[in-house]
Amino acid sequence: MFFFFNDTATTEIYTLSLHDALPIYGMQQEPAIGIIGGSGLYEMEGFAQTEERLVDTPFGSPSDALIGGTLGGRPVWFLPRHGRGHRILPHEINHRANIWALRSLGVRWILCVTAVGSLKEEYAPRSIVIPDQFFDRTSRREHHTFFGGGIAAHISFGEPTSAPLRRVLLESSLEEELLEVHFGGIYVNMDGPAFSTRAESEVNRKLGFDVIGMTNLPEAKLAREAEIALATLCMVTDYDCWKGEEVNIEVVIGHLQANASVAQRILGRAVNKIPALPEWPEHRALDAAIITPQDFWPAEKITALGPILTRFVDTSALEDGK
């Protein structure tokens, strides 16, 4: 996802180590909303920035410092998935660290903003797609789960995005004048960083996929494991290459910049429509997912997954090193 804004941080940056994080996610937190998109996305009307936080995770470093504050009275954390300055390629993104960091800060809903190519004539550049399905063409799936290493879990993923959160994005999008919005669709996730070949693009069209991108499916999988509801606002930037025109960064950036303020307005309205308490099915996704009996859970894995397993383990024991 590309958003090009001036990054003018005015608040102090704090570093949060894994050890420091233990008491934070062990305490009662006000449920927060996460927004994953481009750097500068947080520069929206009504957002009161209070801090930047560098979070150390068991899976390495997130893409960048997380930017925290309030929007409409709700706690919100922004994360630029490619880092400020867009310096991280899609296959280099540490999705596990990103989602772990957000969950450790109390995030229970994630709104994603991402650029996509269109595989259908009717999904024109500068239109919006709110997908309800994914197709996985990635190659590093071992990095798209928190589990393993002694705790086996298999999440239900037939409906990979949150239906009520998609509805929130739809309602917020329809308040925009002259904006073309497509509700539902299949997002096929490729690795990148190269754009599709024409043969690949034609096959994806024949298979019935609607849009193509490089980042959102791992975010959705990991958010579900972290019991976070997630939905995505896809910004169509091009027709991939099936229409005979090559995709280039100049075109992609031009369409994204044109829609940047639209995305900010939609997100601002969406935050105010999200309920105060995390009571959707996604917020209990692990109830029927973990197969390993708790007596067999390795202590080091419990510690590593502390923010994710708070409903199942006594986090005060983690703080005491027990």
Is 287 one of the annotated active-site residues of the chain? no
The catalytic residue among 20, 210, 238, 320 is 238
Residue 247: beta bridge partners? Answer: none
Separation in Å, CA 142 to CA 121, 135, 147, 301: 35, 16, 9, 16
For the chain, where are the alpha helices, taking DSSP H only?
18-26, 95-104, 163-173, 198-206, 216-225, 249-273, 299-304, 315-319
Is 238 one of the annotated active-site residues of the chain? yes
The catalytic residue among 136, 191, 240, 295 is 240
Buried (b) or exposed (e) across 166-191, using 16+ Cβ within 10 A?
bebbbebbeebeeeebbeebbbbbbe
Which is it for strands 211-213 and 133-136: parallel, antiparallel or unpaired? unpaired
**What is the Cα–Cα distance from 101 to 16, expressed in whole angstroms?**
10
Q: What ranges make up the beta strands (E) of the chain? A: 13-16, 32-37, 47-55, 66-71, 74-80, 107-118, 128-130, 133-136, 181-183, 186-189, 211-213, 229-238
* Residues labelled as active-site residues: 238, 240
